[in-house]
Structure 1
Amino acid sequence: MGSSPEDEMRISFASHTFIVPKKEINMFPDMGKWKRSQAYADYVGFVLTLNEGVKGKKLTCDYQTSGPVEKLIVLLNTLDRWIDETPPVDQPSRFGNKAYRTWYGKLEKEAENLVSMVIPSELSAAVAETAVYLKESVGNPTRIDYGTGHEAAFAAFLCCLCKIGVLKVDDQLAIVFCVFDRYLQVMRKLQKTYRMEPAGSQGVWGLDDFQFLPFIWGSSQLIGHPTLEPCHFVDEKVVNEHHKEYMFLECVRFINEMKTGPFPEHSNQLWNISAVPAWSKVNQGLIRMYKAECLEKFPVIQHFKFGSLLAIDPVGS
């Protein structure tokens, strides 16, 4: 993108009215509104643009990190530090440690301050709107659970930062390999520390209890790999050797760490994917599955919030 569209974007935000995002999908029939919405088109477009951007590239490849990317890492490091400062409490039930609510309370109080360190002062009007997606991206304090809807809120947060021009097209690799990867590390630590329940999990029939996007982007990374084929990710030795280079393998490594028993039993869908002959086919299949199993499922999307940047208005209105 040249300088002119960005300049236009900046100018248009001078008179733009930001809106604190709110729920719009209250009943199943509202799902039609979501699929026709500008928000759906923008969100899917964002996911697919990044999918294309990371194709065939390792996590360890060279990419530039801009100021805003570095500030996002500072923000995520703060969330990580708060986990260390908020140890789990003794309680009778094994899952859903109540200390998570204390941790979440800090984020709720500080979210706008954290986001205002990433967004430049001339765009400070966008802080309240974008901070909502950050708060929604770390799990639910009532149920002490986390799932793909929360992950989608973090992607929406990054999408909003792109729409207001804080993150640029040049940041694509850093968005996935630096920011999103750090987000995943913090979420895994949350899940382990507070024994969070999977939100809306389909058990063994879901792809994974907690994440979906890193499987999409991670399979894109592996497209055209000279030696690693989909059948290799069920081999623990291969996973341990390459997980630092490929998101997909890092996800599998985390599953292996968290679950016991034979892989085909605890992760049946992933096991089936290992039979697909090529990573490009895996990638296309996962995009279709993501739309069907996450973006078009009422239990996931009913929690999504809409403002001025991710609008419920129909495309082109």
Structure 2
Amino acid sequence: MVPSSPPRKCILTPAQLAWFQTSDTHKLIVEYIEMLNESVVGAKLSDEVVESEAVKAILAILDHVESIARDTPPVDNSSSRFGNPAFRTFYDKIADIASTLHTKIPSLPPQTIPEISLYFIESWGNRSRIDYGSGMEMNFLCWLLTLHKLQILSAADSKPLVLRVFWKYIRVMRLLQSTYWLEPAGSHGVWGLDDYHFLPFLWGAAQLRGHKYIRPKSIHDPEIVEEYAKEYIYFACIQFINSIKTASLRWHSPMLDDISAVKTWDKVNSGMIKMYKAEVLGKLPVMQHFLFGSIIPYEGPPPPMDEDFAVDAHIGHTHPHPPLGNVGSSHTNEASGVSPRDIAGGWGDCCGIPVPSAFGAARAEQQGNTHHNNMLPMDRFGGGGGGGGPGASIGLIGKGIRPVPFD
């Protein structure tokens, strides 16, 4: 085992990202996702699972995080639709006790705790921006991956890790999102299928593979959603979206609506894995924030010594910004099949105007605010810029939405 070292941000340029996508670390992360994925094919949330001592310790840690959130109420911030400052208090409490919590994990080498703890701390959201996205979700995944690499967790733990640990994490995150009105990370609420998350849909689709009766289009049937949300993560996520969003999935969640037209859950599941590699692991605005250390290493080229990559102090990270003039356009060049959004580096930059929490937007609507909770400020970019989550602009419907890789 390589001596533990503090994780740090390493990917700042497209060239570094391209190297990462061919690296053993990229392969390691994808293989871990796929191992957990295969462990829950056909499984229900109510299935009996064997919880190892390590899994029990992790669940106890998540219970502790939940109790801290419940003991840290939001401050009066009713005039704002954006993140509640009390989240920073919650975050600091977690950071203060993270090392102590890790001592409860059996057989965990003490020298690895500082490195592993950072992934855990960053799993709950960004302290300065009070936001959350699939990059933070990936930190939780990689927290589990570090424990797997240290042989604290084993392949035999895979099923309980998804059905118990990860599902507990999602429920705690829903509490944080609703309590502190965490903003969707990224200026357009992208890279998450429900503003915040990606992996619940990926592993949720695995649960449904081969199901005799339920089809992807069933997410549009309220009775089926209500019945199966108790057993299947995918339907529980749809139920959550419906509980905080008005109108239909077609309007506020065009990507999920597109996916519902796929014939089988097998194709949904395999397409989700492809999409995760392309839209999370393959996107610079996500990966530039990821931390690499001795357990999850980066051994690629260093960033160029160029003033264009100086630290952007207002946000706390480094990267070049594409021109905003292209990001807002959803029109595709018919000759090349490439949209300006692709040319600009994917769904758009990560440092644009903040997107309000769906909870805050819904509250504003209840109070008579003229902005509909599905018409978020990203519309100022001119016809969209969203990435397919519920925060996606109505202007994107039928206009240049990137096709989903499910066929």
User: TM-score, length-normalised on structure 1?
Assistant: 0.91
What amino acid maps onto 2:262 in structure 1?
V
Distance in 2 (alpha carbons) for counterparts of 1:73 and 1:159: 16
One of 61, 65, 72 as aligned partner of 1:79: 65
C-alpha change, 1:204 and 1:110, in structure 2 (3 Å) is closer
Q: Give 1:119 deviation, angstroms.
A: 4.4
Across the two proteins, how many residue pairs are aligned to each other?
299
Distance in 2 (alpha carbons) for counterparts of 1:190 and 1:74: 18
What amino acid maps onto 2:104 in structure 1?
M
Q: Which residue of 2 aligns with 1:277?
A: 263
C-alpha change, 1:77 and 1:195, in structure 2 (3 Å) is same
Which is higher, the Rg of structure 1 or of structure 2? Answer: 2
One of 120, 124, 131 as aligned partner of 2:117: 131
Matching of residue 179 in structure 1 with residue 165 in structure 2:
yes
Q: Give 1:20 deviation, angstroms.
A: 1.5
- Structure 1 runs, 4 residues or longer, greater than 3 Å off: 201-206
Q: Give 1:274 deviation, angstroms.
A: 0.8
What amino acid maps onto 1:101 in structure 2?
R
One of 93, 117, 133 as aligned partner of 2:80: 93
5 Å matches for 1:10-159?
13=1, 16-91=2-77, 92-120=79-107, 123-159=109-145
- After TM superposition, the structure 1 stretch with the greater mean CA deviation from structure 2, 211-220 or 255-264, is 255-264
Distance in 2 (alpha carbons) for counterparts of 1:18 and 1:205: 30
What amino acid maps onto 1:215 in structure 2?
F
Indicate the structure with greater helix content.
1
Q: Give 1:292 deviation, angstroms.
A: 1.1
One of 237, 248, 256 as aligned partner of 1:251: 237
What amino acid maps onto 2:65 in structure 1?
L
Gaps in structure 1 of 5+ consecutive residues: 1-12
Secondary structure, aligned partner of 1:36: coil
Partners of 2:134 and 2:191 within 8 A in 1: no
Partners of 1:33 and 1:312 within 8 A in 2: no
What's the CA shift string for 1:163-210, capped at 9, x where partnerless?
101111111111100100000000010000001100026458962200
Distance in 2 (alpha carbons) for counterparts of 1:116 and 1:43: 25
Partners of 1:219 and 1:248 within 8 A in 2: yes
Q: Which residue of 2 aligns with 1:10?
A: none
Q: Which residue of 1 aligns with 2:369?
A: none
- After TM superposition, the structure 1 stretch with the greater mean CA deviation from structure 2, 84-93 or 146-155, is 84-93
Q: Give 1:27 deviation, angstroms.
A: 2.6
What's the CA shift string for 1:111-158, capped at 9, x where partnerless?
11111211425x111111111100111100100000000000000000
C-alpha change, 1:204 and 1:262, in structure 2 (3 Å) is farther
Q: Which residue of 1 aligns with 2:324?
A: none
Distance in 2 (alpha carbons) for counterparts of 1:173 and 1:311: 26
One of 185, 202, 205 as aligned partner of 1:216: 202
What amino acid maps onto 1:141 in structure 2?
R
Partners of 1:112 and 1:127 within 8 A in 2: yes
What's the CA shift string for 1:62-121, capped at 9, x where partnerless?
210011111111111111111111101012312200000000010111111111211425
Partners of 1:204 and 1:267 within 8 A in 2: no
Distance in 2 (alpha carbons) for counterparts of 1:204 and 1:157: 22
Q: Which residue of 2 aligns with 1:6?
A: none
Q: Give 1:32 deviation, angstroms.
A: 1.9
What's the CA shift string for 1:26-60, capped at 9, x where partnerless?
23332123213332111111001111111111111
What's the CA shift string for 1:236-295, capped at 9, x where partnerless?
211110112111111111111121112200011101111111000111111111111111
What amino acid maps onto 2:58 in structure 1?
L
Distance in 1 (alpha carbons) for counterparts of 2:220 and 2:106: 41
Gaps in structure 2 of 5+ consecutive residues: 301-407
Partners of 2:191 and 2:198 within 8 A in 1: no
**Sequence identity of aligned pairs in percent?**
42
Q: Which residue of 2 aligns with 1:7?
A: none
Distance in 1 (alpha carbons) for counterparts of 2:160 and 2:143: 15
Higher relative contact order (CA 8 A, sep 6+): 1
C-alpha change, 1:43 and 1:83, in structure 2 (3 Å) is same
